[in-house]
């Protein structure tokens, strides 16, 4: 992505600093901490489950998985795909608001709370694709090989830099995700020894890069130089994490003892992000920044995304009606911290300091928690004139993995209820077209400023107490629009 507007400086950044070296050292450490990304599954930082047909059933697609949508939900279902290819597109129309409440101390030591203007975030029109194919490996059609690539349904909201002519109160947590590109690609193998059993395994990896912008402040919290959020002490920054390669494995089984009932189990292993990162900074406009230099702009970022367990039972009370109840558990407690290791980032030329200071390892606490979701989906087969038609619907309840005190615009998720509907029409024995629409109803979250735990990134703590910047009221809603086509060539 090419950033328009004022120039950003990369490998060598000049500044003046008339205070001791420790503040500037902490300033650079804080920059790395602030810009580390979070990306994950539905209960964490992906706002929606994925797939056009599966989401028509509200994600209840574990026992009933029987097409290429099974790549994500249960690879055992790939045994029923045969020779097919699929392309679908999903657009997550995400919108949110944030009214910040900031709790600060006065010079006399008293606590006061101020409320900022409400900021609004919105996602651009960005259809996220899935491309997949499958083929039988033997004449008996017991073995099926599938491969595919798909993007996560991430809420990529952006925020205006100004609100009512003043710098946005959102600037210290997030500016934009523009320029990010993530995809999960892999290959899967399914085996169907008889009509009762299906097994599947797969290997996949999260690929691409994550890019974000954020602002941090260099104003001393003890107010020796200015107010805590005085704009001329703001530093606009960008980070690009990647290229990423985070492998994972999945496996699943489907048991169909009778034609009217199916049981499904599947699981996915942890993804570990271990990637390089590049940092670019536009230094503050304050006259304090003139002569010091920071050489180097790379770091290594490590964190974990959760393993997932899924279970489902599908019944067919009548021939043309399918109903599934599914449960999903995402083990977000593995996402306890983010570790950043600067690679040869040095501060040089500071008066009264050693000639070169190297930045140490940074550990960022996250403290996410395990999260569950329950889904119920139905699918009814009928006709539309001469064409076979499937009508779908469902409901999902999902809890957030993010404790309220760690909720922010850069780690945004809610407890929510999702209502879904969808349909498929087959124009002949080779072509099928899919549609879906879902509506997410997310509960608003109020973060008490006294309980908030995300600080404003500042080079010097000064004499003031911690002043977290993620307090306030968060709301969000989203619609998912999806369309796809499936081609059966054998």
* pLDDT score at 343: 79
Closest residue by Cα to residue 59 from 480, 430, 426: 480
Closest residue by Cα to residue 132 from 183, 181, 56, 191: 183
* pLDDT score at 7: 30
* pLDDT score at 4: 32
The pLDDT tens digits for 1-54 are 332 333 322 333 333 333 333 344 333 434 343 334 433 345 445 567 889 999
Radius of gyration of the chain (CA): 25
Contact by Cβ (8 Å): 307, 331: yes
For residue 264, what are the β-bridge partners? 254, 312
Closest residue by Cα to residue 107 from 486, 475, 465: 465
Closest residue by Cα to residue 176 from 230, 128, 234, 121: 121
The string over 319-337, giving b where at least 16 C-beta atoms fall within 10 Å of a residue's C-beta and e elsewhere, is eeebbbbbebbbbbebbee
Q: How far apart are CA 88 and CA 482, in angstroms?
A: 7
* pLDDT score at 112: 78
* pLDDT score at 453: 85
* pLDDT score at 340: 76
Split at pLDDT 50, 70, 90, the class of 117 is confident
CB atoms within 10 A of CB 351: 12
Determine which helix (DSSP H) or strand (DSSP E) holds 202, and give its type and residue range: strand 197-217
Contacts of 246 (CB under 8 A, 6+ apart): 205, 206, 271, 272, 273, 274, 275, 305
- Show me where the domains of the chain are located: 19-488
Q: Is 311 a residue whose pLDDT tops 70? A: yes
Contact by Cβ (8 Å): 221, 460: yes
Query: What's the gap between Cα 106 and its chain centre?
Result: 37
CATH 2.40.160.60 at 19-488, yes or no: yes
Q: Is 68 helix (H, G, I), strand (E, B) or coil?
A: coil
The pLDDT tens digits for 418-442 are 999 999 999 999 999 999 999 999 9
Contact by Cβ (8 Å): 161, 168: yes
The pLDDT tens digits for 252-297 are 999 999 999 999 999 999 999 999 988 776 666 766 667 666 777 8
* pLDDT score at 466: 57
Query: What's the gap between Cα 324 and its chain centre?
Result: 27
Q: Match 């919105």 to its residue by tokens.
A: 122
* pLDDT score at 232: 74
Instruction: Give burial (CB, 10 Å; 0-12/13-18/19+) of 197.
Output: middle
Contacts of 296 (CB under 8 A, 6+ apart): 11, 342, 343, 344, 345, 346
* pLDDT score at 46: 59
Closest residue by Cα to residue 282 from 213, 363, 356: 213
Q: How far apart are CA 5 and CA 43, in angstroms?
A: 35
Q: Is 21 helix (H, G, I), strand (E, B) or coil?
A: helix
Q: How far apart are CA 349 and CA 338, in angstroms?
A: 30
Split at pLDDT 50, 70, 90, the class of 486 is very high
Q: Is 111 a residue whose pLDDT tops 90? A: no
Split at pLDDT 50, 70, 90, the class of 82 is confident
More confident residue, 133 or 410: 133
Tell me the average pLDDT of the chain. 81
* pLDDT score at 382: 97
Q: Match 């189990």 to its residue by tokens.
A: 265
Phi-psi domain of 344 (left: phi exceeds 0; alpha: psi -120 through 50; beta: other) = left
Q: Match 């083929």 to its residue by tokens.
A: 135
Split at pLDDT 50, 70, 90, the class of 113 is confident
Q: How distant, in Å, are the alpha carbons of 219, 230, 285, 309, 456 from that of 226? A: 6, 6, 13, 51, 15
Instruction: Give burial (CB, 10 Å; 0-12/13-18/19+) of 304.
Output: buried
The pLDDT tens digits for 191-246 are 999 999 999 999 999 998 887 776 766 665 545 455 667 777 776 777 788 888 99
């Amino acid at each position: 992505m090419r950033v328009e507007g004022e120039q950003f400086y990369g490998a060598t950044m000049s500044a003046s600093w008339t205070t001791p070296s420790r503040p500037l050292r902490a300033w650079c450490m804080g920059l790395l901490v602030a810009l580390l990304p979070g990306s994950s599954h539905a209960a964490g930082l992906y706002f929606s489950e994925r797939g056009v047909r599966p989401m028509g059933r509200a994600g209840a697609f574990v026992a009933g998985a029987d097409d290429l949508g099974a790549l994500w939900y249960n690879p055992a279902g790939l045994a029923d795909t045969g020779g097919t290819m699929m392309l679908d597109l999903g657009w997550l129309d995400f919108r949110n608001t944030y009214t910040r409440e900031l709790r600060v101390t006065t010079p006399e030591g008293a606590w006061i709370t101020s409320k900022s203007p409400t900021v609004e975030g919105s996602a651009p029109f960005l259809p996220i694709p899935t491309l997949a194919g499958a083929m039988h490996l033997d004449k008996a059609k017991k073995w099926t090989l599938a491969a595919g690539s798909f993007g996560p349904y991430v809420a990529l909201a952006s925020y205006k830099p100004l609100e009512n002519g003043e710098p946005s109160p959102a600037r210290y947590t997030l500016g934009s995700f523009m320029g990010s590109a993530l995809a999960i690609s892999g290959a899967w193998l399914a085996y169907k020894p008889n009509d009762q059993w299906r097994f599947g395994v797969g290997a996949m990896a999260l690929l691409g890069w994550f890019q974000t912008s954020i602002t941090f402040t260099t104003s001393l919290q003890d107010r020796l130089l200015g107010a805590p959020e005085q704009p001329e002490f703001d530093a606009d920054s960008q980070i690009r994490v990647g290229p990423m390669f985070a492998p994972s494995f999945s496996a699943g089984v489907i048991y169909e003892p009778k034609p009217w009932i199916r049981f499904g189990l599947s699981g996915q292993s942890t993804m570990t992000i271990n990637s390089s990162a590049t940092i670019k900074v536009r230094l503050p406009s304050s006259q304090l920044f003139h002569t010091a230099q920071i050489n180097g702009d790379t770091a290594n970022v490590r964190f974990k995304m959760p393993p997932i367990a899924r279970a489902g039972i599908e019944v067919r009370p009548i021939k043309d009606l399918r109903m599934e109840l599914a449960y999903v558990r995402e083990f977000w407690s593995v996402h306890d911290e983010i570790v950043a290791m600067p690679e040869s980032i040095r501060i040089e030329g500071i008066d009264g300091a050693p000639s070169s200071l190297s930045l140490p390892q940074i550990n960022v606490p996250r403290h996410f928690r395990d999260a569950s979701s329950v889904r119920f989906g139905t699918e009814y087969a009928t006709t539309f004139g001469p064409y076979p038609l499937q009508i779908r619907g469902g409901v999902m309840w999902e809890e957030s993995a993010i404790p309220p005190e760690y909720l922010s615009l850069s780690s945004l998720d809610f407890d929510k209820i999702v209502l879904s509907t969808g349909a498929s029409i087959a124009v002949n024995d080779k072509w099928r077209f899919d549609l879906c629409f879902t509506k997410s109803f997310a509960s608003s979250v109020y973060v008490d400023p006294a309980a908030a735990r995300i600080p404003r990134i500042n080079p010097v703590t000064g004499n003031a107490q911690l002043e977290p910047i993620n307090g306030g009221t968060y709301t969000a809603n989203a619609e998912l629009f999806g369309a796809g086509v499936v081609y059966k060539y054998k």
